[in-house]
Structure 1
Amino acid sequence: MDDVTSESVFSRTKPVQWTADVAVIGGPPCSSVEGVDERELESDADLAFAFRHAAGVIAADWYRQRKDDSLVLVVLYNYRHALELGLKAVIKSMIASLQFEEPAQKLTVEQEQVLARARSKHDLSLLLDDLSALAQHFQMPLPEVVRTACEKLHELDPDGQWFRYATVRSRTRGADSVAARPDPIYVDVPRLSQLAETACSALDDLLDRTHELQDWQTSLGPEHDQEAHRRAVLVTRQHHEDDLHQA
């Protein structure tokens, strides 16, 4: 193998000789179906899939070879981050639908706060509550498995830091760092994977349904009456129920 240098590993220009060893991350902004700029290769939904996939691969490897249990922390972190990104993707998409309905009006203060949390917060409990309220508005009930998975992971890691470190900053102001897991926690890894995978799939389904709604919005044009919005939501929900019956 050639000597490894930063220039040989990373490049901002396309390689002269393309090989299967080269991965591409990032990309120029493109206009998403919601009318919000998304990075072509790196939307929240895409990264949620990546973290979810990584968690599944590591969990399967741990189960097959019974490797060091510290790997399970990486599984937990990746599933937690996948759920965080999944929640944020659906929230942003639903807020974009609200903006499309009333393009001449600004978001309410509450909606701006929801969007700000989706852009910067890592608290699964807050994001879960925000999505639950939005889902109710769109007549898309939040699946219970999403709530269960997020609440369980939030108990163990309230801010996205506790799975990443052995010690974390104490929640008590002025106190020293504390052990992230002072008492043993016993994790059924296959059941963890089943719960997290089901919750991630449920969020994917919510995002798909929101995108379907946006297709109807685009077809109908910006609506300023609640009846037209209600019709689009009902059509989307009926299509979802038809898919469930056919499954």
Structure 2
Amino acid sequence: MGETEDLHSLPRPKWAIHEIAIVGGSREDEFVIAAGFLRVAEAGARRWIEHGPDDRLPIPILYNYRHGIELTLKWLIRLTARCAVRGGYTGPENLSPLKLDEKLRTHNIRKLADRLDRYMGLLELEPPNNRIDNASRQLLDWLDSEDETGETYRYSTVGHGEKKAAARPVQTNLNFYELVREVHELATLLHAGYAGFLDNHEQMQIDYYVDMRDLYADIDFAPDVDHYTGL
């Protein structure tokens, strides 16, 4: 391969086993894919920071962060809904998995944040841990105002037909470092902080019902633990 051709190719991994990627399967969900988008976003941000400004990168970087945040919110909503049902919620919200699939067919960050806030309020959590913190919520609302439909960071134009318009009609100079730092911290807080907190809440619920099963093991009447734990 010539020197010029090599510049347009990717280097081969040092070890042959590193050429293989595993995708799909039962372990792949929104949370796993979100982690990938956020890792790609961070790699792009670090390159932009370490190698000098490259104006081709900010929009793809923001898109990857935004999509990672969107998938994280959807995963958190599903987790919180499970916890609410397991905790005995029987209110007007339909929290069945099939209904959630329908409700989560949206790219709107504000609507997703509203739903997560509402579902967290159904759990036995002490304030302020029963809702998204104010600083994170403000940044989520800003993301929504910048890209309400998930198109603005994907394309140079948005809309269709007569409503088609430039996504960024006016050139803007912005402090991208400060912006991407805040978005990175938000994404990390949601994917590591909120996810860890709510996952721990679910595990405590499951442990409680397992303990109840053991307690009632020798009694004819016992709660349907498998129904509550999903075991």
Q: TM-score, normalised on structure 2?
A: 0.72
Unaligned runs of 5+ in 2: 2-15, 211-231
Per-residue CA deviations over 1:60-111 (Å, capped at 9, x if unaligned) read 21222235312100011011111111111111100011222349x6x74454
SS of the residue 2:17 aligns to: coil
Counterpart among 150, 154, 167 of residue 164 in structure 1 = 154
The CA deviation string for residues 135-184 of structure 1, in whole angstroms up to 9 with x for no partner, is 233332312232122112211111111111111115xxx62411011122
Q: 1:142 to 1:109 in 2, by over 3 A?
A: closer
Which of 27, 37, 51 aligns to 1:65? It is 51
The aligned residue for residue 218 of structure 1 is 206
1:202 and 2:200 aligned: no
Is the 1:59–1:189 contact (alpha carbons within 8 Å) kept by the matching residues of 2?
no
Q: Does 1:96 align with 2:82?
A: yes
2:20 to 22, 29, 44: 22
1:80–1:98 CA distance, 2 compared to 1 (3 A): same
**Other structure's SS at 2:148 match:** coil
Name stretches of at least 5 consecutive residues in structure 1 with no aligned partner. Answer: 2-17, 30-39, 223-247
Whole-angstrom distance in 1 between the partners of 2:144 and 2:206: 37
1:44 equivalent among 24, 30, 39: 30
The residue number in structure 2 matching 1:125 is 110
Instruction: Check whether the contact 1:145–1:198 (CA below 8 A) recurs between aligned residues.
Output: no
Q: Which amino acid aligns with 2:117?
A: S
Corresponding letter in the other structure for 2:42:
G
Q: Which runs of 4+ in 1 moved over 6 A?
A: none
C-alpha distance in 1 between matches for 2:174 and 2:114: 26
Aligned length: 190
Structure 1 segment 7-18 matched on structure 2, within 5 A: none
Tell me how far apart the structure 2 counterparts of residues 117 and 134 of structure 1 sit (CA, whole Å).
16
Contact in 2 for aligned 1:145/1:195 (Cα 8 Å): no
For each residue in 1:28-49, what CA deviation from the matched residue of structure 2 results, as whole angstroms up to 9, or x when unmatched?
x2xxxxxxxxxx1x22222222
> Cα offset for 1:57?
1.0
User: Normalization by structure 1: what TM-score?
Assistant: 0.68
Which residue identity does 1:160 align to in structure 2?
G
Contact 1:72-1:189 at 8 Å conserved across structures: yes
Percent pairwise identity: 24
Say if 1:94 and 1:200 are closer, same or farther in 2 by CA, change over 3 A: same
